[in-house]
Amino acid sequence: MDDLVESILDYVRADYTDYAIMINGEWGSGKTYFWNHKIRNKIDSMQVNGKKLTTIYMSLYGISNLEEISKKIFIETTQLMDKNLRKFMNSSGRTTIPEYAKTGLDMANLFGVTQNGDRVNYADFFSTDDKVLCFDDLERANVDVIDILGYINNFVEHDHIKTIIICNEKELSTKLKSSNLEMKTFIATYLLDKENQLLSNDKPMVEKINSTMEEVFDKANDYERIKEKLIGETFEYQPEFTYIINGILMRYEKNPDLIRFLRTNTALIISTFEKSGTRNLRILKHSLADFKRIFDIVTKKYPNTNNRVLQTMLIFTIAVSFEIKAGKVTKDRLANIENNDEYKSIVVSSKIFKDNRQFYIKEFDNNYYYNFKAEYRFFKFIEMFVRTRIMNMKIVKENMEDIQNTEDIMNIPGYKRLLTEEYWKISDDEFPKIIESVLETVRKGEIQLVNVVKLYAYFVYFIKKKLIDYDKDTIKSLFMNGINIASLNSEYCENAEDELSNINLAESDYDIKEILNRFYELNDQLKDKMYEKTAMDIFRNIPMKMEIFYDRFDKECMDVPLFKYCDPYQIFQRISCASNEDIVTIKESLIKRAKKNTVIFKEELSNMYKLCNIIDDYVSDKKITIKTVVLTEFSKELRKVLNDNNDELNSKEEELL
């Protein structure tokens, strides 16, 4: 790094130059930090030919025309010439003007507030040998790069001003090729058609279009030509991460507990950063800022949290930040994991059963936790915070309570150890005891259905490996009985397919297929049981607790066929006891729901039609009142929507057939 600094300073010291230099590096790798902390101050303290040098820095980020660059240079220059401003900065020890302050100074200059009657010193304007220009973020400008370089060339070639350009050439190349892509494709297609080459079979269509675009619109070549003329040297910026990361940590000096922890674990931060495979220090800054909030909450609310857990939280925060923000993985890949047990279960099953369907999670764990042992490695509240920016305190509480239980491995049930821990980590003395405890748990039906299926796959595997001395038929019978007993106290598993995809279940194996079929049968029964209870809980709020009914109906009934599980007579009795206004509102809610989601109504149509028939029978021999009118309209309008939906469903079925 010192060699790079000296090479740049040698360029600045040179008596005569007619070229600029470029510092090239990836986004977020600390190029601007390098300029501000390693280069700028050294140049500002230099004298060349008896003149003190002055740097003028401009970010081109968002610049939309060349005039904006000229304005920026003028503003920077006039502020540097202001005697009172220079006097204040010298007395206060400031070396740069904050961007916010520049805005005020610009307006002050516009209205003549800071000029104090001084005349403009034109000699300062004409002096060029004491200025060093720095243009940053070249690839982020909204102006054609070729135009910007041509503009900068005026300063370099004609005025011989020392000029440094900071950019990411990789992104610059992508930008040059992808700009106005639709227009370029259209014109390339038009030209090929005019030349009767569009429909010829000599080359693939995409290849011909891309080739024509490059031939007609190859700005990359224009860039290379002007770069060759303007840029004398290009320096590849390879940051000293340790130095920069230590600089980043300095912002937490006012938090003694946090800075002590971060300083102690600097090697862990650097290691995790390097494992991310990127050089983006900007993401690292954001992840450490996120960790500050996590650290403050955890240490305040759970002061007995041990150091190993905090270290794992630090690794996980940095790792998840890079995986999501660097675009290495879609957010859903981590969002779909609910807790640490599920995460470890995926990792373990991927390793034992060689299942590559969850390859990403296994690689994530192997990469970031390599040679770092921790029982708790997935923090849902951290993943959610990084992904959504919401700190869910309920999930924080759940995670922290779970962590306290996980830390004491002797209190973890045997079945959980098999599902979340590689079996080879269990000692030979412990293994038989764990096997017996798992079988006893299965016999009593004390675990959820989906876990019984997972455990059966493990036992089949252990039998094949001759790790346990059990007959396969005996084990199958035990698990089949266990799954029936477990269904009495289990909850419906909504994401059963995803849960079981974590384990490489060989469906060709008849025994496993039989267990699976029984699981899905029982799970469907649990779904019906769950929806039946939900329907009862929601509709019992009519007519006395209508606000609760409306709220729960909107949240829980829109995409679920709850009417399939309702007694139409009981629903009618409740609706008929409601106020006329509520009957109208209920009708509107049902119609809105029916129009929004037609698919779920195939399961509900029978009961919904029954409800309409019951209403019709009720009002048929009643005298006309407001209630009978609103009930009649209720039945009429609901029946119309049901008929429309029924026709649509039937037509879709006919299309499929």
pLDDT at residue 392, as a whole number: 95
The torsion angle over the Cα atoms of residues 562, 567, 573 and 577, rounded to 10 degrees, is: -20
For the chain, give the longest Cα–Cα distance. 110
**Tens of pLDDT, residues 408-419:** 555 678 898 888
**DSSP string of 194-246, one letter each residue:** HTT-SS-SSS-HHHHHHHHHHHHH-HHHHHHHHHHHHEEEEEEP---HHHHHH
Cα–Cα distance, 634 to 295 (Å, whole number)? 56
**Tens of pLDDT, residues 224-263:** 777 888 888 999 887 777 777 888 898 899 999 999 999 9
Confidence of residue 96 (pLDDT cuts 50, 70, 90): low
The two tokens of residue 180 are: 């106005």
**Pairing label, strands 131-136, 162-167:** parallel
Q: Indicate if the pLDDT at residue 50 is higher than 70.
A: yes
Cα–Cα distance, 644 to 626 (Å, whole number)? 27
The two tokens of residue 145 are: 């790069």
**DSSP string of 243-263, one letter each residue:** HHHHHHHGGGTT-HHHHHHHH
pLDDT at residue 507, as a whole number: 47
Q: Indicate if the pLDDT at residue 102 is higher than 60.
A: no
| Average per-residue pLDDT for the chain | 82
Report whether 404 contacts 340 (CB < 8 A).
no
**Tens of pLDDT, residues 521-530:** 999 999 999 9
Which residue has better confidence, 474 or 105? 474
Q: Could you give the 3-state DSSP secondary structure of residue 135?
A: strand
Confidence of residue 654 (pLDDT cuts 50, 70, 90): very low
Q: Could you give the 3-state DSSP secondary structure of residue 534?
A: helix
Smallest CA-to-CA distance from 262 within 277, 276, 248 is with 248
Using alpha carbons only, give the angle 233, 2, 53 rounded to the nearest 5 degrees. Answer: 65
**Pairing label, strands 162-167, 20-24:** parallel
The torsion angle over the Cα atoms of residues 314, 318, 320 and 324, rounded to 10 degrees, is: 160
Confidence of residue 120 (pLDDT cuts 50, 70, 90): very low
Report whether 269 contacts 318 (CB < 8 A).
yes
Cα–Cα distance, 426 to 419 (Å, whole number)? 12
Range name among 16-30, 116-130, 292-306, 391-405 with the lowest pLDDT average:
116-130
**Tens of pLDDT, residues 174-184:** 666 555 556 55
Backbone angles phi, psi at 465, to 5 degrees: -85, -5
Cα–Cα distance, 509 to 577 (Å, whole number)? 56
